[in-house]
Amino acid sequence: MSSPRPTHVLIIGYVWPEPRSSAAGGHMMQIIESFLQAGWHITFSSPAGVGEHKADLAALGINEVCIELNNSSFDAFVSELAPDIVLFDRFMMEEQFGWRVEKHCPNALRVLETSDLQSLRDARQQQLKAHLKRNPEQDDISALFAPTPEQTYAHMADADLAQREIAAIYRSDLNVMISEYEIDLLTEQFHVPDALLHWCPLMVDSVPTEFVPFEQRQHFLSIGNFRHAPNWDAVLWMKTHIWPLIRQQLPDAQLHIYGAYTPPKATALHNPKQGFHVLNWAEDALAVMSNARICMAPLRFGAGIKGKIADAMLCGTPNVTTPIGAEGMHGDWPWPGAIEHSASAIADTAVQLYQNPQAWRQAQQHGQALLKARYLQSTHGPALVQRIKDCLAELEQHRRNNFTGVMLRHHQHKSTQYMSQWIEAKNRV
């Protein structure tokens, strides 16, 4: 008697995962590892070009397939593969390929890995731009960090990006959410049913108990992919407002800034005389984080949760951030560092933590406790797998309960299908 066919997952990636370049790439690899531990077979596909820091998926036994946008070759590919589960990496992939999956694999569970709510990030970016236009030199931007959920919804709801993203969430059978804040926003303001959402934050295998001690560490550190707009904005804010204030108090202080895909506009900020070092991509991000004394994460806009801060906790490195940086990360647990609202407060607190071994070690301990409480892979990996299994077992009823999603798929996918077929026909000419 033949053994049953193993569960087969098709992942449609917006990009090929780069776990050492971005938190999104790291989270994707953590999800993949959870699937592999469940004994599932994985095929990873993407229409994107291969980046220079791409993970070696083949070494994990994962089949890699290049696919094309607006090309019916995908139809034959997905029909032959016949996956049990299709995971879309960000909502744009659901828009592009969702109707094809539904047409050729109607019984496949459709899962959307949101990474973060891009429409939330975009709305906050627009608010920041408007604020800075009105108040270019204002130090305290507390008002941007404390809107009510209703105000946040009002800023998002009329935007095309929000309407597209929330529609993709409704159309999917299950949505992997990295931030509890975003789950609350979706359920309370956009009225997305709880049954469509699953919390799965960044995950760590274990929590270290020993770190490089305070006395052996030096320098401030900032790290993040420069292609991610919030990271670039944070670097500019440090350059123009925060770092000069730190140097006034610590004239010999050094800030080391690492980031994948460093553009010329970033390297132009490199100034050793000011202690401001732009050092491109870190070959081993955890190594440089482990030797830094303070992680700087002054994010003025963004969404999701922050990989740099999770890495800082993993390395025992206290961080100084904003409410945006801390959002969705700590629940009721003490913060492993400080959360501030202005450039001056960020600078003052960073200097205090840098010089105070007792406060520094307490922040480090808070990070250890937080990782154990909220980020263990042994908790979240199996929980995600089980949630997917439960949805598969009740798929027909699960979809029937989501009539809004059924309705949106009917109308949006028809229009997307015709547009895609028109583009494909045009490309043949």
pLDDT band at 13 (very low <50, low <70, confident <90, very high): very high
Domain boundaries along the sequence of the chain: 8-119+150-203+377-428, 214-374
The pLDDT score that the predictor gives to residue 275 is: 96
Q: What percent of the chain has pLDDT over 90?
A: 82
pLDDT band at 303 (very low <50, low <70, confident <90, very high): very high
Q: Is the pLDDT of residue 427 over 80?
A: no
pLDDT band at 261 (very low <50, low <70, confident <90, very high): confident
Intra-chain end-to-end CA distance of the chain, in Å: 52
The pLDDT score that the predictor gives to residue 1 is: 46
Beta-bridge partners for 206: none
The pLDDT score that the predictor gives to residue 100 is: 95
Domain 214-374 classified CATH 3.40.50.720?
Answer: no
* Fold match, 8-119+150-203+377-428 / 214-374: yes
The pLDDT score that the predictor gives to residue 423 is: 65
**Stated pTM of the model:** 0.93
Q: Tens digit of pLDDT for each residue in 75-131?
A: 999 999 999 999 999 999 999 999 999 999 999 999 999 989 999 999 999 999 999
Residue range 289-303: average pLDDT?
97
Q: Is the pLDDT of residue 160 over 50?
A: yes
Candidates 3.40.190.10, 3.40.50.2000, 1.20.1530.20, 3.40.50.720; correct CATH number of 8-119+150-203+377-428?
3.40.50.2000
Measured CA to CA, the distance from residue 52 to residue 229 in angstroms comes to 20
Q: Tens digit of pLDDT for each residue in 192-240?
A: 999 999 999 999 999 999 999 999 999 999 998 888 999 999 999 999 9
